[in-house]
Chain A
Amino acid sequence: MPPARPSRVYFYGTCLVDLFFPEAGLAGIQLLQRAGVEVVFPEGQTCCGQPAYNCGYFEEARAVARTQIALFPEDLPVILPSGSCAGMMKHHYPDLFRGQPDEAAARAFAARVYELTQFLVDVLDVRLADLGPPVKVTWHSSCHALRDLGLKGQPQALLGQLANVELAPLARERECCGFGGTFSVRHPEISGTMACDKAADALATEASVVLSTDGGCLLNVKGVLEAQTAPMRVQHIAEFLWERTHAR
Chain B
Amino acid sequence: MPGESDMNEGGPSGRFAPSASPLVHPHGVTERSPATPSGPSFRASAAKALGDAQLRANFRRAMDGLMTKRSAQFPDPGDLQALRDLGTAVRTRSLLRLPELLEQLEASCTRNGIQVHWAETCDQANALILGLLKARGATRLVKGKSMVSEEMHLNAFLESHGIESLESDLGEYIIQLDHETPSHIIMPAIHKNKGQIAQQFSQKIKDAAYTEDVDELTALARKVLRQKFLEADAGLSGVNFAVAETGTLCLVENEGNGRMSTHVPPLHIAVMGLEKVVARLEDVAPLYALLTRSATGQPATTYLNLISGPRAKDEMDGPREIHLVILDNGRSRIYGDPQLQATLRCIRCGACMNHCPVYTRVGGHAYEAVYPGPIGKILTPQIEGVGLRHDLIHGSSLCGACSEVCPVEIPIPDILVRLRREATHADAASAVAGQGTGRTTSEDLAWRAWAAVLKRPRLYRLSAWFATRFRQFIPGGLPLLKAWTLSRTTPLPAPRSLQERIRKEGMPRV
Which A residues fall within an 8 A CB radius of B?
13, 15, 17-23, 25-26, 29-30, 33-34, 39, 41, 43-47, 49, 51-61, 63-64, 66-67, 95, 143-144, 146-148, 174-176, 178-197, 219-220, 222-224, 226-227, 246
Contact = CB atoms under 8 A, between A and B. Distances in A.
Contacts of B453: 46
A184 B401 contact: no
Given A33-B508, A188-B483, A22 B396 contact: no
Most buried by A among B451, B487, B507: B487
B209 interface: no
Contact of A57 (B391, B447, B494, B501): B447
B497 interface: yes
Given A30-B508, A43-B457, A19 B50 contact: no
Contacts of A21: 494, 498
Contacts of B419: 56
> Considering the complex of A and B, which 7 residue pairs feature the smallest CB-CB distances, nearest first?
A223-B488, A180-B397, A192-B487, A56-B421, A56-B420, A176-B399, A60-B451
A52 to B, nearest CB: 5
B223 interface: no
B450 interface: yes
A238 to B, nearest CB: 11
6 contacts: A17-B498, A19-B494, A20-B493, A22-B497, A54-B420, A186-B394
B431 to A, nearest CB: 17
A148 B404 CA distance: 10
Contact of A188 (B357, B399, B484, B494): B484
Nearest to B397: A180
Nearest to A219: B491
User: What class of interface size applies to chain B in its complex with A?
Assistant: 35 or more
B491 A194 contact: no
B358 interface: yes
A13 B453 CA distance: 17
Given A29-B507, A33-B508, A188-B487, A19 B493 contact: yes
Given A49-B454, A178-B357, A224-B488, 17 more contacts: A18-B497, A20-B494, A21-B498, A26-B502, A29-B507, A45-B457, A46-B460, A47-B454, A58-B421, A60-B450, A67-B455, A176-B357, A185-B483, A194-B397, A223-B487, A223-B488, A223-B489
Given A64-B451, A190-B50, A33 B509 contact: yes
Nearest to B51: A189
A45 B499 contact: yes
B459 to A, nearest CB: 9
Interface stretch (B154-162, B288-296, B422-430): B422-430
Interface in B451-510: 451, 453-457, 460, 464, 467-468, 480, 483-494, 496-499, 501-503, 507-510
Interface string B376-414: 000000000000000100111111110110000000001
B426 to A, nearest CB: 12
B457 A46 contact: yes
A43 B460 CA distance: 12
B502 A52 contact: no
A190 B457 contact: no
A22 B404 contact: no
B448 interface: yes
B197 to A, nearest CB: 27
A45 B500 CA distance: 11
B488 A194 contact: no
B117 interface: no
B488 A187 contact: no
B464 A19 contact: yes
Contacts, number: 207
A60 B501 CA distance: 28
Given A55-B447, A190-B362, A18 B394 contact: no
Contacts of A63: 451, 455
B499 A18 contact: yes
Given A13-B499, A26-B498, A39-B507, A194 B361 contact: yes
A58 B361 CA distance: 31
A174 B401 contact: yes
Contacts of B487: 188, 192-193, 195-196, 223-224, 227
A61 B321 CA distance: 57
A54 B248 CA distance: 42
B97 interface: no
A195 B399 CA distance: 13
A22 B500 CA distance: 9
B47 interface: yes
Given A18-B464, A18-B497, A20-B491, A60 B448 contact: yes
B417 interface: yes
A58 B424 CA distance: 11
A183 B501 contact: no
Contacts of A192: 486-488
B111 interface: no
B251 interface: no
Contacts of B489: 222-223, 226-227
Contacts of A45: 457, 499
A19 B509 CA distance: 21
B166 to A, nearest CB: 36
A178 B490 CA distance: 16
B399 A180 contact: yes
Contacts of B447: 52, 55, 57, 60
Contacts of A23: 494
B43 interface: yes
Contacts of B56: 193
A189 B50 contact: yes
B449 to A, nearest CB: 9
A81 to B, nearest CB: 10
